[in-house]
Chain A
Amino acid sequence: MTFWSMMQELLGGLAVSVEIFFFTLLIALPLGFPVALGRMSSNWAVSGIFRLFISIVRGTPLMLQIIFVYFAPYIFFKMPLSHYPRLFATVLAFGFNYAAYFAEIYRGGILSIDVGQREAARALGMSRRQTFLRIILPQTIKRVIPAVGNEVITLVKDTSLAFTIAVTEMFTIARQLSSAHTSMMPLIAAGVFYYVFNYFVAFAMEKLEKRLSYYG
């Protein structure tokens, strides 16, 4: 195995990892908001449902959730899975899992906004919707960025769990190469790739944070 062919293989795996990463964020970042609002609802039935969702998702391993999402159609309905894309199941499981975590981060952000902001908005004659969208939400987004950044970085590393249902992302490729050639090199190279990936993620989050700190 030449160094370059190893790099090529790992990059192929990285593409899959990046795919899981992007689509998970695409689902989870927006989905976190309705979940957070549902959890904060004054209607107890609504808040109870979202509480239960968050509780189950946070209380069970992501690996188990991936297995569940992929095999559920077969287990419950005996549907053959030959045309059920594994990547789709992976992203679905990741999306719901991360949405639960994001929801709690958003909730913390919303609760951290001083009650005086609401009162002032009301005094200006804003409706509840206007208050949330124009006053609460922009401030919340600013405040939750560091915590969201933590989760996003964890997500990069969590993508390796996708092999539970045979999605060959970068870590799996590295392990296979390591097995085939009885060498630690591919694993070390994969570690470097993860680090570089996360370095850029952290850099982007920092940029975003700076850009949003428009009050200095």
Chain B
Amino acid sequence: MKALTILAPLAIAMTMVCGCGHENDGTRRFTVGFDADFPPYGFKDGSEYKGFDLDLARAVCERKGWTFVANPINWDAKDMELNSGSIDCIWNGFTMQGREDAYTFSSAYVDNSQVVLVKVDSAINDFASLAGKVVGVQTDTPVAKALATGGDRQDLGGTFKALVVEPNYNQLVNELDMGAVDAVALDVGVAKRKMSDLPGKFRMLDEIVMKETYGIGFKKGNTALRDEVEAVLREIANEGLMAELARKYGIDEQALILK
């Protein structure tokens, strides 16, 4: 009896481990790697992962008859995940600029700008007044690279007192809220989402750190899969589904490139 009480939970756990295999019915599995701390592009909604990008990916899979798998990853490990075949693509507000050589990208589908968010009552009104301030960015993003020493916007980043690299966007915005950093540089889509989640707390500076575009990142050289996905994505864009999703997730329709 005693042995049974010990073994029962183990047996249950064992079946759970074995349960997570691959599809056996022969359908293709399409695994999208994404950062789940990145609303509105990819985030947890109830028991599901949703968002502008994930909904697009799901729509592509439906049309191709593939099994859609949303796999939240550790953003720092994304290259290993992709190269080792653990995921099929990175589809998650994935900036193309500065990464062109590292991935096989789809065509750009969203125009995105990097903006600066400050607290509503902050004395910071333009980029000049960011001098001597502490500015936060998300780890391993083009804007983090650009503002760092040797980056394209070192002219701006060099004036900061410090550039703080945070593990995820949520913490970045929380630290701004709590005064740990004076300003944060991030994607305009995320900035707008946070401003609507926490109304009256933050405002966006008018100037833009850099312009960039989003694309779907595939393993370098995997043009076959890229072409397959892109063809369907264009269909979806032409039929207006992409614009519909943009409206649903509060993304500026003007920013959509594949229309």
A residues adjacent to B (C-beta < 8 A):
1, 5, 8-9, 12, 15, 18-19, 22-23, 26, 67, 71, 74, 80-88, 163-166, 168, 172-173, 175-182, 184
Contact = CB atoms under 8 A, between A and B. Distances in A.
Nearest to A177: B44
Contacts of B151: none
Top 9 A-B residue pairs of the complex, sorted by shortest distance between their CB atoms: A80-B85, A74-B84, A179-B170, A179-B37, A180-B43, A176-B44, A182-B197, A81-B84, A176-B36
Contacts of B10: 22, 26
B170 A175 contact: yes
Interface residues of B, number: 38
B72 A87 contact: no
B85 A176 contact: no
Nearest to A164: B74
A182 B22 contact: no
B17 to A, nearest CB: 6
> Which of the listed residues B20, B44, B71, B74 has the most CB atoms from chain A within 10 Å of its own CB?
B44
A75 to B, nearest CB: 8
B16 interface: yes
Given A172-B72, A178-B170, A165 B44 contact: no
B9 interface: yes
B44 A173 contact: yes
Interface string B14-31: 001100111000000001
Interface of B: 9-10, 13, 16-17, 20-22, 31, 33, 36-39, 43-47, 71-74, 77, 80-81, 83-86, 168-170, 173-174, 194, 197-198
- Majority secondary structure of chain B interface residues (helix, strand, loop or mixed): mixed
Nearest to A74: B84
12 contacts: A19-B16, A67-B80, A80-B85, A81-B85, A82-B22, A83-B22, A166-B71, A166-B72, A166-B73, A168-B72, A176-B43, A182-B198
A9 B46 CA distance: 7
A8 B44 CA distance: 13
Highest count of chain B CB atoms <10 Å: which of A23, A26, A164, A179: A179
Contacts of A1: 46
A28 to B, nearest CB: 14
B73 A175 contact: no
Given A18-B9, A168-B72, 18 more contacts: A5-B47, A19-B17, A22-B9, A23-B13, A26-B10, A67-B77, A67-B80, A71-B80, A81-B86, A82-B86, A164-B77, A166-B86, A172-B72, A175-B37, A175-B170, A176-B44, A179-B168, A180-B44
A133 B190 CA distance: 62
Nearest to B39: A180
A176 B31 CA distance: 19
A8 B83 CA distance: 34
A87 B17 CA distance: 7
Contacts of A180: 36, 39, 43-45
Contact of B84 (A12, A80, A88): A80
Contacts of B85: 74, 80-82
A18 B17 contact: no
Contacts of B46: 1, 5, 9
Nearest to B170: A179
Nearest to B38: A179
Contacts of A67: 77, 80
Nearest to B86: A81
B47 A12 contact: yes
Contacts of A5: 46-47
A178 B71 CA distance: 18
B36 A179 contact: yes
Nearest to B197: A182
B118 to A, nearest CB: 17
B17 A85 contact: yes
B17 A176 contact: no
A181 B84 CA distance: 32
Contacts of A18: 9, 13
Contact of A74 (B13, B31, B80): B80
Contact of A182 (B17, B38, B170): B170
B154 to A, nearest CB: 30
Contacts of B72: 166, 168, 172, 176
